[in-house]
Chain A
């Protein structure tokens, strides 16, 4: 009986240690995931601002961006106005789908931005 209990106790400890280790790994993983999202947001922001990339600021007012253009509507409250990520992505990738005469460049269709870069810009826009 005693013996059995001891074995049980040891097993329990092992399990706890494993669980702790697993928890630690999970925390690390979450931290890593958060870090990459924060990185995605930062790089999305610079992709949106850079003249040679999105240059969205040429036409849209965006929070603290300097000397914004006024050709398109201000980019604000994006989550509210674009609850669907796919719709926002489509507007950036090819604005002419929604409006054939759009003055907004079709960023993916004309190879100005990659889909991956647009994903990062969308991450950033959802913080606005």
Chain B
């Protein structure tokens, strides 16, 4: 018995002391791959379609006439509009258009916080004498739809720089959020999307969190609208009857940072379409 306990401690100790974002990510991926050995890693970018054949067939029909196409077009024209001082949104970004989406979320050392794509677009507008767009507005969501589309096929490569303690703190905060039970129903995100992945909540089948951020914004047929990742977070938090957080709140940005890191190595494939 004692030997077993010692072995166990020896075995776990390195895991516990070394566990940084990269070890977390490897364990995260391994869990889902063990759970679904027939699903290739890249498929996890497709959410529930990676593991549910029926849903996948319906999705393929939907993709014949992509319901998010209008949002991409609207976003493209907004992207090219000039602001009051003649500048364009593109002027605020150092990258070619296909590389903008993959550059976020990132930890901004100067601001001491995680900056998401939606936040960066609003910072740009404000720097050029335009008011920030509401985070649930069609305008802002369609600009992100255009940028998501331009980035299709690029790899997710979220960075948590080791020499930046604030970045690790933000990542850890998002991770804690993800694993904490909350709300009247006492659920953690992980209770549904890790422990119960592939099982049904009534008629809904639970997707893996691996790949949860790759395809946003998403057209939801239930809502007939394109929604942001934070709107989806908001919905899941509301469903467990927990205190809601604002779209683009620090809590949700840190959560996005953690989940994006978990998805490193998958391909961006937004905008997506879901039930």
Contacts and interface: CB of A to CB of B under 8 A. Distances in A.
Contact of A106 (B186, B191, B195, B202): B186
Contact of A69 (B185, B186, B195, B201): B201
B200 A70 contact: yes
Contacts of B196: 71, 103
A69 B184 contact: no
Interface residue tally on B, bucketed by range: 10 to 19
A78 interface: no
Contacts of A57: 202
A112 B200 contact: no
Interface-central residue, A57, A103, A112, by most chain B CB under 10 Å: A103
A74 B215 CA distance: 35
A105 B186 contact: yes
Nearest to A110: B184
A40 interface: no
Interface residues of A, number: 15
Nearest to A94: B186
Interface in A87-128: 96, 103, 105-106, 110-112
B5 interface: no
Contacts, number: 36
Nearest to B191: A103
Contacts of B192: 103
A112 B184 contact: yes
Contact of A110 (B186, B200, B202): B186
A69 B191 CA distance: 14
Interface string B182-203: 0011110001100110011111
List the 5 closest A-B pairs by CB distance, nearest first.
A67-B203, A105-B185, A70-B199, A70-B200, A103-B191
Interface of A: 57-59, 67-71, 96, 103, 105-106, 110-112
20 contacts: A57-B202, A58-B202, A59-B201, A67-B200, A67-B203, A68-B200, A69-B200, A69-B201, A69-B202, A70-B199, A71-B199, A71-B201, A103-B187, A103-B192, A103-B195, A105-B184, A105-B186, A105-B187, A112-B184, A112-B185
Given A58-B202, A103-B196, 13 more contacts: A58-B201, A67-B202, A69-B200, A69-B202, A70-B199, A71-B200, A96-B186, A105-B186, A105-B187, A110-B184, A110-B186, A111-B184, A112-B185
